Amino acid sequence: MKAILLHDFGGPSELYVGNVDQPEISTQEILVRIKCSALNRADTLQRKGKYPPPSGASEILGLEMAGEVVSVGESVTKWEIGDRVMGLLSGGGYAQFINIHEDLAMPIPTGFSFEEAAAIPEVFLTAYQALVDLSNLQIGEQVLIHAGASGVGTAAIQLAKSLGAAQVFVTASKAKHELCKSLGADHCIDYRNEDFAKVINDKTNGKGVNVILDFLMAAYFQQNLNAIALDGRLVMLATMGGIQVSEVNLVNILRRRARIIGTTLRSRSHTYKSKLTKGMLELTFDKFETGDLKPVVDRVFDWNDVGKAHQFMEDNKNKGKIILKIGD
Ligand SMILES: NC(=O)c1ccc[n+]([C@@H]2O[C@H](COP(=O)([O-])OP(=O)(O)OC[C@H]3O[C@@H](n4cnc5c(N)ncnc54)[C@H](OP(=O)(O)O)[C@@H]3O)[C@@H](O)[C@H]2O)c1
């Protein structure tokens, strides 16, 4: 089969379409002809050699896909040849075929294109994991979502509102505020010109937010602690703002009884991912079909332009997901 490969670790120009062996399936797996994959920040790190796949995972980039089942293992009960599926992968999404355990594949909501479906798995599973599984968001609570127009951010804004959050605050560059508002954000903070902790404390009478989804880690650690409410939960998902803090006032961890939770998705066990997939589907599938939740697709790149797609993400130009159309 054809797949996107790397000449060497490095810049976007290292990516090219080449030939590799097609994956084989075990008894509980299905083989999917991938129609679309989608970009994740992690792909850009893996391309640079800074994010090796977990042991046993494909070396090929790509953490999610949407496509059609072309073959099923002998113990598979959930899927038939021809079914339209989407799913989270540990790797291998930038390719024509992928093997995936039947429990990790999800049905594509009625009427969704493969482009739209490929924009769902990683960001909605991450948002579901952070808001439901880890922070246990309650109706009427206040939420702060950093990088509101990121892929994960666009899913998290919608999910938080749909779970009954009272107010959703986001940080994003100004040009992306309109999109965040259209997805349900109540307050958009231009992080380049405003102190988000101050805005939040002003708007909540000093109470702060109950749940924070953070991707910046070191850069926002102090402000996050300044903005967290009593019994608040700070979920850390990425290190986009660095990992070293030289001076930080930790007192709010104690005074506000804050909980700090770090998480990853790719390296989780099969059992955990299956449970997460099932829970996310139960909560969201009908909402996708009714249009209450929607994947946000910024643009679709042909896989021959994968380098341009990576550059687009690294320039922070995307609002929502960047899709890769997998060719013949
Ligand atoms: N731990 C996990 O389980 C997990 C799962 C999925 C993803 N992730 C991670 O989550 C992060 C987001 O992923 P993604 O694919 O959704 O990202 P993405 O679509 O590439 O978006 C990232 C956005 O962050 C924004 N940003 C940059 N600096 C910022 C700052 N100082 N404050 C607020 N926003 C800022 C940029 O938009 P602006 O123009 O607004 O700056 C940028 O577009 C990545 O680092 C990814 O690796 C983690």
Q: Binning pLDDT at 50, 70 and 90, where does residue 80 land?
A: very high
Q: What is the CATH number of the domain that holds 240?
A: 3.40.50.720
Residues 226 and 141 in one domain: yes
Q: Tokens representing 189?
A: 């903070």
Which DSSP category does 242 fall into? -
**pLDDT (0 to 100) of residue 31:** 98
**pLDDT (0 to 100) of residue 16:** 98
Q: Look over the chain and give the mean of its residue pLDDT values, rounded to a whole number.
A: 97
Residues 61 and 10 in one domain: yes
Name the 3-class secondary structure at 7.
coil
Residue-wise pLDDT for 103-139, tens only, equals 999 999 999 999 999 999 999 999 999 999 999 999 9
The proportion of the chain whose per-residue pLDDT surpasses 70, expressed as a percent, equals 100
Q: Tokens representing 95?
A: 């390719």
Cβ atoms within 10 Å of 223's Cβ, excluding its own: 21
Residues 135 and 68 in one domain: no
Q: Binning pLDDT at 50, 70 and 90, where does residue 33 land?
A: very high
Contact 301, 38 (CB under 8 A): no
Atom of ligand 1 nearest to the CA of 313: 20
Residues 111 and 152 in one domain: no
Residue-wise pLDDT for 187-196, tens only, equals 999 999 999 9
**Boundary residue ending a domain (262, 292, 313):** 262
Average pLDDT over residues 44-63: 95
**pLDDT (0 to 100) of residue 35:** 98
Give me the number of domains the chain comprises.
Answer: 2
Average pLDDT over residues 144-150: 97
Residues with CB under 6 A from ligand 1: 40-42, 122-123, 126, 146-147, 149-152, 171-173, 176, 191, 215-216, 219, 237-238, 240-241, 263-265, 313, 316, 318
Residues 131 and 254 in one domain: yes
Residue nearest to atom 21 of ligand 1 (CA): 150
Residues 135 and 59 in one domain: no
Residue-wise pLDDT for 295-313, tens only, equals 999 999 999 999 999 999 9
The proportion of the chain whose per-residue pLDDT surpasses 90, expressed as a percent, equals 99
Average pLDDT over residues 262-280: 96
Residues 115 and 170 in one domain: no
**pLDDT (0 to 100) of residue 169:** 98
Range of the domain at 77: 2-120+266-325
Residues 133 and 257 in one domain: yes
Residues 174 and 244 in one domain: yes
**pLDDT (0 to 100) of residue 230:** 98
Residues 116 and 147 in one domain: no
Mutate which of 37, 39, 40 to test ligand 1's pocket (most atoms within 8 Å of Cβ)?
Answer: 40
Report d(CA 219, CA 65) in Å as an integer. Answer: 32
Atom of ligand 1 nearest to the CA of 146: 33
**pLDDT (0 to 100) of residue 314:** 97
Q: What is the CATH number of the domain that holds 40?
A: 3.90.180.10
Sign, CA dihedral 129-133-135-136, equals positive
What does the angle CA 224 – CA 220 – CA 260 come to, to the nearest 5 degrees?
50
Residues 220 and 286 in one domain: no
**Boundary residue ending a domain (262, 284, 312):** 262
Residues 253 and 290 in one domain: no
Q: Binning pLDDT at 50, 70 and 90, where does residue 64 land?
A: very high
